[in-house]
Every structure is written in structure tokens, then in C-alpha cells.
Amino acid sequence: MLDGDPYAIIENEFVKPGKGQAFNRVKVRNLKSGRVLEKTFRSGENVEAADVVDVELQYLYNDGEFWHFMDAGTFEQYQADAAAMGEATKWVKDQDMCNVTLWNGQPIAVEAPNFVVLEITETDPGLKGDTSGGGGKPATLETGAVVRVPLFIQTGEKIKVDTRSGEYVSRAKDE
Amino acid sequence: MDWRPGASLDTLRARAGLLQRLRAFFARAGVLEVETPLACRAGGTDPALEPLVTRYTGPGFASGTPLYLQSSPEFAMKRLLAAGAGPIYQLGRAFRDGERGRRHNPEFTLLEWYRPGFHAAALMSEVAELVRCALEAPALAAEEISYAELFRRHLGLDVFTASVSDLRAAALAHDAGVADLELERDAWLDLLMTTHIEPRLGRGAMSFVTDYPAGQAALARLNARDPRTAARFELFLDGVELANGFEELTDAREQAGRFRRDNRTRAARGQPELPVDERFLAALAAGLPPCAGVALGVDRLLMRKLGIDDLDRVMAFSLERA
């Protein structure tokens, strides 16, 4: 906890002259804003631990303001605001399992699954004869996100997307 | 369960080879190898070094006594010097609580040696010679620069007159992450030295930093020509601190005063006060010959030799594997 916000430690470098004061140079990420900060502490200094846990939650629905999640084991429900959702709003749909960071029991960060399968709601008809893409074209997905897809992909098809890069991976096989 | 060593077997062979080279160097130089206790009934009082403590119970100490794992074999070796041992070295383990990082492990290999009759200059050239031999780098050059000159050159600061707020401002100018630190003067100097100056030292040549401020004298005597400084030097190579040496303080009363001051500092900081090594003080009072001594981190020397930047990969089993 720093200045009232929870942080995750990314790097922690111990520096100490043989006969002198020891320091820890720490790189931390603000779990709410995602901003990375560098800070130097005197070694042995105490910082309040943040009550932060990562849990797997199932996405249920969006009520216009909040995104609702449920713990499939305890059936406990959580609601995340747009700030906590971040990029995940572009990718999640009902039933998806997401990694959610809870701070004092409240979602502060939501990670979409690495790969999601989504249906294309709108894309220009492709040119005949094109098999593997090349240039590609924009396609709007059922969640509203827009990704570039190969020319042969058509409206109504389901595709697999890598949510970390926001890129098309493949046609989804029927599951 | 990860049971494997952190160092490769080739690295462990290189470690054994390095230890042999070091011993051969001292055999040629006529310096005697000695062994002193790792578990001692008293240790150093330096507030910057926290000892690992264990306990002995048995004949002689039926109700038990704490034993301090040595942070360096300095006191015991000086007792041998006072007993007339002549030039001596020790190659063994030292322990420090609270120290763990890419260049620190709470248990590490230290090479420490003492040269009666040597001044700092003669010892520095022997250190340079030993490092060249150990690294098999006969052409590696050495340079010498004073602590005060480093601060002038790199930070435009006069270490003797700069105030705490000058030092804080200099640190803040290079790193906004220090804004919340509340430090004493010498700790600001340590911060600037380790984070700002040290990484630039020893690039292409061994850098010997000399004449540390009196506040950082540790066990060095003060320089007669400028008592604001101590006859202490450190060696840096490729931005890493490798060795620390002194023209040794031989005055028992001055030494006893430094122990008391250390313990007052410890008490003020909420660190445990530590028993003073009375046998060491008695040896000083009996007469320690004028001498210079130095301690060198062998694991770091091996890291440099092999171009490895993590201690874990030059030791068989570092803290997490121990």
C-alpha cells in the first residue's frame, strides 16, 4: 500500500555498500491505474501489505453501469466498474472465466481470457479467391470490438482472438 | 522440488580453479593461510552489519551462550597479528543477516588478508596484482580516485560541506523515487554512491576509491594529513564493489570509543546492541603492528571472471536453495 493505493511489486533490487546503509530500489505497479512507479526504500522499512487476491470469476452480465461476476464455487457475486474492467470490456461475454484482482473484496482489475471466441456481427464481403488473407479488413465483433481479419472471413462466422494483442488468430472450430 | 545447484558444474569447476589460484598467489607471496572461528562469542558492532546469531549450550556454557557468525574474520585475524603472526590471509565464509539480492547472499566467500608494515598504497597495488592473476587479465589497468573527487566530478558536490538538504536534492535530481526518504548524512552519501556513482566505476580498469569521509571510517585510521578523511579504500570493477581495505586502526582507546558510538547508534535506531569484543581490544592494547588489511568478495570476483551477473549462478546453493 502506497499513498492509499494497492501496488504489486514488479522488481526489487537490493543495493548496499559493504559498510553502509542498505536500500531496496523497487519497481511497483499501481493495481488500480496500472501505472508503474519506481521507489527507493531503506531496507527493513515496513510498508502496509495490501489485502489483494487474484480469483477466477465467471462473467455474468452488464447492467449498463457495472459488469457482474460470480465465484463459481461460493456463488458470491462481485461488480466491477469500467475503470476495473479496462480493456476487458472489449472481449468478455457471458460465461467467460476471467482473472479478477480483488482489493478488500472489490474488483480493481479484470483480465479477459488470453483467447476468446467471438461472432462477427459486421464485415465487408471478402473478395472471391482469397484464401489466407494478406491485407485483411476490419470486422466488428459481438462485443463491439473491432479487429482486422483475413478477407475470406464473413459476417456470422466465429473467430478466435488473442486479447493481449487484439489480433485475429484463426477461424473458430465448432465446439 | 528444485534440488539442483544454481551454478553449472562448469562454473563450480571454475570456482575451484579460482580458489586454487588465490591460494597459489599467497603461497608465492609468503603469506600464511589461517583459519579463525566462524561462530564467535563477540562480533562487530557496525550498525550497517547485522550478525546472524546461533547458540551453543554444553560444557563450558551450561545455560547456553549466543554465538555470532562472523561478518568478517577481522578481529580474530588482528589478534593473530598482535600475537606476531606476520602477513596472513583467510579464505572462508562470512555471514550477514538481511542481505539478499543479485550481488548479496547472507553467506558468502570472503578473502581477507593483512600486511604488517604496508600502507594503503602498497596494499592497493597488491590487490590489483591479485585481481589480475585471479582473472587471468595481466593487462587490466588500475586507477585511483578519492571519494571527494568522485562526488565533485559526478555530482558537483563537496562531501565535506554539503548539507543533508544538498545531498537530498542531488539524489532527487537523479531519482524521483527517493522523495519520501528520511536519512542521515552518511546514508545519503551511501545512496548517491551506490545508485549514482558506483555503476560508473571500474569501466575498463579497476577503480580504487580512496580517502573515505571520516564518518565512514569503519575500522580504518584517520588520515594524518586530512583528518576529515580515513585511510580506507574500496575496489570497484564493472560497477561492482569488490573489496574494502584499511590502514588499520591500532589505537585501543579510539577503537573502544568507536564500539561505544556504534552501540549508541544501534540503540537510537532500535537495533540490538551487541557485546564488544574485549579480547580484540586487549590485543590492540598489547600492540597491533602498523598494518593494512583488505577483504575481497570471492563470489563477485568469480561473477566478473565468468561474465555472470547473478550470485545465484556462481554458488552451488544460495539462500533459497540452501
Q: Which whole-number Å values give the CA distances from B97 to A125, B68, B241, B295, B310, in the listed order? A: 69, 11, 19, 18, 19
Q: Which helix (H) or strand (E) holds B21?
A: helix B9-29
Q: Tell me: the pLDDT tens digits for B245-295? A: 999 999 999 999 999 999 999 999 899 999 999 999 999 999 999 999 999
pTM listed for this prediction = 0.82
| CA A159 from centre of chain | 19
> Could A43 and B98 be called an inter-chain contact, meaning their C-beta atoms sit closer than 8 Å?
yes
User: Which of A13, A18, A21 lies at the smallest CB-CB distance from B187?
Assistant: A21
* A132 confidence band (pLDDT: 50, 70, 90): low
> Could A23 and B195 be called an inter-chain contact, meaning their C-beta atoms sit closer than 8 Å?
yes
b/e per residue, B212-241, with b = 16+ CB within 10 A? bbbebbbbbbbbeeeeebbbbbbbbbbebb
The three three-digit cell numbers of residue B207, written as one number: 577503480
Q: Tell me: the pLDDT tens digits for B78-93? A: 999 999 999 999 999 9
Average pLDDT value over all residues in chain A: 89
> Could A16 and B194 be called an inter-chain contact, meaning their C-beta atoms sit closer than 8 Å?
yes
CB distance from A38 to chain B under 8 Å?
yes
Which residue is it, cell 583528518? Answer: B227
- Whether B195 and B175 have beta carbons less than 8 Å apart is answered as yes
- Whether A67 and A92 have beta carbons less than 8 Å apart is answered as yes
Average pLDDT estimate for A10-38:
91
The residues facing B101 across adjacent strands are B104
Taking CA B143 as the corner, what is the angle to CA B142 and CA B145, rounded to the nearest 5 degrees? 150
Residue A135: what pLDDT?
A: 72
Nearest to B276 by CA among B305, B254, B256: B256
* A131 confidence band (pLDDT: 50, 70, 90): low
| CA B12 from centre of chain | 24
Nearest to B244 by CA among B257, B252, B253, B235: B235
User: Which of A16, A20, A25 lies at the smallest CB-CB distance from B104?
Assistant: A16
* A125 confidence band (pLDDT: 50, 70, 90): confident
| CA B170 from centre of chain | 26
Return the minimum-mean-pLDDT range out of A7-21, B18-32, B56-70, B201-215.
A7-21
Q: Best residue in B45, B108, B180 to probe A by mutation, most A CBs within 10 Å?
A: B180
Residue A134: what pLDDT?
A: 60
Average pLDDT estimate for A128-145:
76
What whole-number distance in Å separates Cα of residue B70 and Cα of residue B90? 13
Residue A3: what pLDDT?
A: 86
Return the CA Rg of chain A: 21
Residue B196: what pLDDT?
A: 94
Q: What count of CB pairs under 8 Å joins A to B?
A: 75
Average pLDDT estimate for A160-170:
93
> Could B48 and A44 be called an inter-chain contact, meaning their C-beta atoms sit closer than 8 Å?
no
- Whether B262 and B47 have beta carbons less than 8 Å apart is answered as yes
Nearest to A111 by CA among A123, A101, A122: A101
CB distance from B159 to chain A under 8 Å?
no
Q: How far off is chain A from B62, nearest CA to CA, in Å?
A: 35
> Could B98 and A22 be called an inter-chain contact, meaning their C-beta atoms sit closer than 8 Å?
yes
User: Which of A16, A19, A40 lies at the smallest CB-CB distance from B178?
Assistant: A40
Q: Best residue in A12, A14, A19 to probe B by mutation, most B CBs within 10 Å?
A: A19
Q: Does the pLDDT at position A126 exceed 70?
A: no
Average pLDDT estimate for A144-159:
91
CB distance from B180 to chain A under 8 Å?
yes
Residue B235: what pLDDT?
A: 98
What whole-number distance in Å separates Cα of residue A39 and Cα of residue A11? 10
**DSSP 3-state of A28:** strand
Percent of chain B with pLDDT over 70: 100
Return the CA Rg of chain B: 20
* B23 confidence band (pLDDT: 50, 70, 90): very high
Residue A33: what pLDDT?
A: 83
What whole-number distance in Å separates Cα of residue A91 and Cα of residue A71? 19
- Whether B117 and B290 have beta carbons less than 8 Å apart is answered as yes
- Residue B116, Cβ density class (10 Å: 0-12 exposed, 13-18 middle, ≥19 buried): middle
> Could B176 and A44 be called an inter-chain contact, meaning their C-beta atoms sit closer than 8 Å?
no
Question: Which residues of chain A does B102 touch, with a Cβ-Cβ cutoff of 8 Å?
Answer: 13-14
* B6 confidence band (pLDDT: 50, 70, 90): very high
Assembly ipTM? 0.89
